[in-house]
């Protein structure tokens, strides 16, 4: 009994799987350590099988050297695309870090081994809520769909043009800082006004030492206004998904 092996199909699917696994290890929400590495590998293999009809037409088997170079190229492409998605969603973590800093929660920082995130309460809470919203709103499926469509622009034998990712990285970092300020802006503004009010009160009545009331007052204000941010998070996550797809070079 003889089995015919289609080496062209096997090589193309393997290269697609390498790009998939490099992307899934870095890009949220799949990068979360709560998902075992073997699950990510199985998902990458399954996705590679799905995109096989897209990447195998016209593919010719490569020699050992070019094939190894193609493997490295797919790792780079998947890693860069995953990092671009990570940059977009880092805005939510940065917004939580800003809230912790202005509200005084940053003194109680802790390391989260699940996400390799070092932050206080709002940093970790907003990160977990964003991950949950990505799955419940279908954002994770849209990100995977965008990754699949990248094979049209960047075939498995192609190489990434480093000028475009460089510009995308600069734009992604700028967008991350801008989005984090916009997300945390309402709370930061109220906390700033609270500090100004306490300063004026201390100026008028120094014997009251109003700044002693600052920590509990700012914590109370933050907890009361946090609902505004969390109510807006579904729309924020949806907008960030569109931004991530745009940075990947595909449309939603």
CB-based burial, 5-23: b 16+ in 10 Å, e otherwise: eeeebebbbbbbbbbbbbb
The CA-atom distances, in angstroms, between 165 and each of 28, 83, 128, 140, 242 are 18, 10, 28, 22, 17
Q: Is residue 179 part of a domain?
A: yes
Selected residue with higher pLDDT from 250 and 174: 174
pLDDT confidence of residue 111: 64
Q: Is residue 1 part of a domain?
A: no
Q: For the residues 147-169, what does the mean pLDDT come to?
A: 74
Angle at CA 45, nearest 5°, toward 41 and 50?
145
pLDDT in tens, 62-86: 787 888 888 888 888 888 888 888 8
Sign of CA dihedral 149, 153, 157, 162: negative
Angle between helices 64-103 and 163-204 (to 10 degrees): 10
Confidence of residue 139 (pLDDT cuts 50, 70, 90): confident
- The tokens of 154 are what? 């960047």
The CA-atom distances, in angstroms, between 12 and each of 59, 83, 85, 214, 234 are 7, 23, 24, 61, 37
1 pLDDT more than 50: no
- Does the global pTM surpass 0.85? no
Residue 114: give the domain boundaries. 7-55+62-247
- The gap from C-alpha 19 to its chain's centroid, in whole angstroms, comes to 17
pLDDT confidence of residue 125: 81
pLDDT in tens, 176-223: 777 787 788 778 888 888 878 877 777 777 766 666 777 777 878 888
Q: How far apart are CA 237 and CA 137, in angstroms?
A: 9
Does the bond joining 236 to the residue before it have cis omega, within 30 degrees of 0? Answer: no
**What's the domain count of the chain?**
1
Q: Is residue 2 part of a domain?
A: no
Residue 154 is classified by DSSP as S
pLDDT confidence of residue 117: 67
Q: Is residue 190 part of a domain?
A: yes
DSSP characters over 212-249: GGHHHHHHHHHHHHHHHHHHHHHHHHHHHHHHHHHHTT
Q: Residues near 90 by Cβ (< 8 Å), separated by ≥ 6?
A: 176, 180
pLDDT confidence of residue 120: 67
Q: For the residues 162-174, what does the mean pLDDT come to?
A: 68
Q: Is residue 23 part of a domain?
A: yes
Q: Is residue 151 part of a domain?
A: yes
DSSP characters over 139-153: HHHHHHHHHHHHHHH
Q: How far apart are CA 64 and CA 80, in angstroms?
A: 24
Q: Is residue 200 part of a domain?
A: yes
Q: Is residue 30 part of a domain?
A: yes
């Amino acid at each position: 009994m003889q089995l015919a092996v289609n080496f062209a199909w096997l090589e193309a699917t393997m290269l697609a799987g390498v790009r998939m696994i490099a992307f899934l290890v870095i890009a949220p929400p799949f990068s979360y350590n709560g998902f075992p590495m073997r699950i990510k590998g199985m998902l990458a293999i399954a996705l590679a099988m799905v995109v096989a009809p897209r990447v195998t037409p016209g593919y010719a088997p490569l020699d050992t050297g070019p094939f190894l170079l193609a493997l490295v190229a797919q790792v780079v492409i998947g890693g860069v695309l995953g990092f671009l998605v990570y940059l977009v969603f880092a805005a939510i973590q940065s917004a939580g870090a800003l809230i912790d800093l202005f509200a005084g929660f940053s003194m109680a920082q802790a390391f989260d081994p699940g996400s390799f995130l070092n932050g206080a309460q709002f940093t970790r809470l907003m990160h977990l809520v964003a991950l949950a919203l990505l799955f419940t709103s279908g954002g994770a499926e849209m990100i995977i769909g965008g990754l699949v469509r990248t094979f049209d622009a960047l075939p498995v034998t192609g190489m990434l043009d480093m000028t475009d990712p460089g510009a995308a990285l600069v734009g992604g970092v700028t967008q991350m800082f801008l989005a984090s300020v916009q997300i945390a802006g309402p709370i930061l503004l109220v906390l700033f006004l609270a500090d100004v009010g306490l300063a004026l009160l201390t100026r008028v009545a120094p014997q009251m030492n109003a700044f002693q009331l600052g920590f509990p007052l700012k914590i109370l204000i933050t907890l009361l206004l946090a609902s505004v941010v969390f109510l807006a998070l579904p729309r924020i996550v949806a907008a960030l998904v569109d931004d991530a797809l745009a940075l990947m070079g595909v449309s939603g």
